Structure 1
Amino acid sequence: MTAAKENPLKVVDVANLDAKTADQILEGFATQGFLFVDGHDFTQEEVDHFFELSKQYFALPQEVKDKQAIDADNCGYTSFHQEKLDPKLQLRGDPKEAFNFGLFNFITGDCKKEQLPELFAYGSENYKFINKMSKKYFELGSRILNLLAIGLKIDENEGGVNWFSDRHRTEGTSMTTMRVLHYPPSSKLDGDQVIRAGAHTDYGAITLLFQQKGQEGLELFDTTENWKPIPYVESANAEYRAQGKAAPIVVNIADQLSFWTNKVLKSTPHRVLVPNDVDRYSIVFFFHADNDVRLTPIPSPIVKAAAQPGQYDNKKPEDYITSKEYLLKRLKDTYA
């Protein structure tokens, strides 16, 4: 196994929306399906504050958290063993807990309020902070998708750089989810269960993840068919560090975008271990297309070249599953 200090991923700076950056993004996502993305707009202060809020939330009494149980909109609290990401791995579900924010309006940053616990109560400073962070996640996710549109050489007559943006709208309705997670150390919970989140692929278009230094544990199943740990890395850009920017964020391709591109972009299996006897917290943004968007072939010459002869013949748009239909299918298989 590769030592944790080694970084198997490319680090791509997305500050420039140009063909060179687009090619770097495409190459990384077409091979490993994962990247570190630098040049974003998050500050380290913001990320640290979000992690502190997450820690405070998970420290609440269990009966308080259980009152916001996850619902049909994929919003709310998921308790220990409730989610089973790899059904082949264990009889019980994953030994972790999580809280999902969803049903976002990315113009205002608002999310579904009914499921919010008191800590993130509507009208509070914490809720306003969530609004701000959700808009930053949306802007970064949209920028990455715009770069992919350039890299995939989508014709201007078909939408060009805005092809994905037109299907991930600020005013749209999607199942995009922001999630905070807590993995207790083995000494506190299920010491015999080393894998804290079973091997899985994500369900949407792309996923954005912040993890903390000293709390690594994410592993990907790489092109050599080995599990490789993903470390915490600092930005190599001294100017970004001086500006107080947060460390590069982990970004990976998820199932819908892999399907959409005929697997030109790779949705890579990954899992979470907690190798050290520490609590692990992570913050994840699962970026989904608008609910009614059908996953028809992307009008890209690269995607077209990857198709089998006759693969798309005689197919109508209504023959393809929608973004929301795909997610609901996967969620049904995930929750115990």
Structure 2
Amino acid sequence: MLQIPIIDFSNFASDDETIKQIYQACTEVGFMYLKNFDISQDLIEQVFNTSKHFFNQPLEIKQKSAWSDEFSNQGYVGIERERLNPNKPGDLKEAFNITTQTQQPYIVEFFQACTNLANQILEAFARALELPVDFFANNHNQNHHTLRLLHYPPIQTPLLPEQTRAGEHSDYGSITLLFQHDEISGLEIQTASGDWIKAPAIPGTVVVNTGDLMQRWTNNKFCSTKHRVVIPENTNQSRYSIAFFCHPNDDTQITCLPSCINESPMYPPISAKEYLLTRLQSTY
């Protein structure tokens, strides 16, 4: 059975073996766990506490900052408001989308820490693909990223057919950082053979996966893997996670990298913003 690799990221800048492991993970699985990365566990815990405080508020308070449209893509998203799989019932989760404009304790510091880590991962990607080390980072330097606080509340109503906490989907941008909390997981990823394997919470790690734009950039060399969050056996438990969606500059043209052309490019060029808007419009 295919396993999601756990990669020590502490020496990524000088260790070619780490780069090989990352390349293998991106081409074979599309997911990896990184350990020994440069974000303190205390800061991560502070953000989880902020998240819990927000989601514990009454719905009428949360709705005052409701998500309004795909152009701003920020604010509160209520339960069943989103369908990550448009063919299935609404997802049993609530979320709060944050951009660089948000000024909250710990959030600003965490957003910057995630940005720094994402740039390090993008540098590793560039080295793995034999590109200039700053190629991807330069195409992400406007910080058009989204931090997403996620809460999967206890199941209190009968499930609709095929309803789940987050429908199967691939992420839209270049890479995603996912911080899982406690032992309550539910995240599953789909292998190339179509099987689903668990991606449990592992203390001291961050889950990293490649998204659609990275797959397009690399002509399918790096895979954007479908994943979902399933209903747990104990439906009375909440699940919390934090996702950092790393997205290229809006005007970046995603065209097949020369080193990734085999016979011909598999995707036409598209701007990063155009692709994101198209995907968001189909989700809400």
TM class, shorter-chain normalised? over 0.9
Equivalenced residues, count? 277
1:133 counterpart residue number: 110
Matches within 5 A, 1:74-153: 74-90=73-89, 93-102=90-99, 111-113=100-102, 122=103, 127-153=104-130
Preserved contact between residue 181 and residue 201 of structure 2 (Cα < 8 Å): yes
Answering whether residue 171 of structure 2 is matched by residue 222 of structure 1, we say: no
Matches of 2:37 and 2:143 in 1, distance apart? 25
**Counterpart residue number, 2:280:** 331
1:14 aligns with 9
Equivalent residue in structure 1 for 2:50, among 34, 48, 53: 53
Identity of aligned residues (%): 36
Alignment CA distance shift 1:142-1:173 (3 Å): closer
Distance (whole Å) between structure 2 residues aligned to residue 8 and residue 51 of structure 1: 27
Q: Is the 8 A contact 1:75 1:112 kept in 2?
A: no
1:133 to 1:190, Cα distance in 2 relative to 1, 3 A? farther
CA distance in 2, matches of 1:19, 1:140: 18
Contact 1:207 1:286 in 2 (8 A): yes
For each residue in 1:144-201, what CA deviation from the matched residue of structure 2 results, as whole angstroms up to 9, or x when unmatched?
A: 11001111112xxxxx1111011011xx252x10000111122x24445662100000
> 1:229-244 to 2 correspondence within 5 Å?
229-234=198-203
Please tell me whether residue 287 in structure 1 is matched to residue 236 in structure 2. Answer: no
Q: 1:219 to 1:61 in 2, by over 3 A?
A: same
Q: Determine which of 255, 259, 263 is the counterpart of 2:220.
A: 263
What amino acid is aligned across from residue 255 of structure 1 in structure 2?
A: D
Is the radius of gyration larger for structure 1 or structure 2? Answer: 1
Residues 91 and 163 of structure 2 are in contact (CA less than 8 Å); yes or no, is this contact kept in structure 1?
A: no
Separation in structure 1 between the aligned mates of residue 105 and residue 49 of structure 2, nearest angstrom: 15
The question of whether the paired residues in 1 share the 8 Å contact of 2:88 and 2:163 is answered with no
User: Could you say what secondary structure the match of 1:73 adopts?
Assistant: coil
Once residues 89 and 229 of structure 1 are traced to their aligned partners in structure 2, the CA distance between those partners, rounded to angstroms, is: 21
Task: For residue 161 of structure 1, give the secondary structure of its aligned residue in structure 2.
Answer: coil
State the partner residue of 1:321: 270
1:24 Cα deviation from its structure 2 partner: 0.7
SS at match of 1:67: helix
Aligned counterpart, 1:178: 147
Letter in 1 for 2:238: D
Which residue matches 1:164? 136
| d(CA) in 1 for partners of 2:82, 2:224 | 20
Task: Kindly state the Cα deviation for residue 274 of structure 1 after the two structures are TM-superposed.
Answer: 3.1
Please list every run of 5 or more consecutive structure 1 residues that lacks an aligned counterpart in the other structure. Answer: 103-110, 114-121, 155-159, 235-246
Q: Deviations over 1:94-139 (max 9, x none)?
A: 111100001xxxxxxxx224xxxxxxxx4xxxx1411110111011
- Residue 224 of structure 1: how far off its partner (Å): 3.0
- Partner AA of 1:88 in structure 2: N
Alignment of structure 1 residues 236-255 onto 2, 5 Å: 247-255=204-212
With over 3 angstroms needed to count, the CA separation of the structure-2 counterparts of 1:87 and 1:179, relative to structure 1, is same
Mapped partners of 2:158, 2:221: distance in 1: 38
2:283 alignment partner AA: T
Moved over 2 A (4+): 188-194
TM-score (norm. length: structure 2):
0.92
Q: Give the 3-state SS of the residue equivalent to 2:241 in structure 1.
A: strand
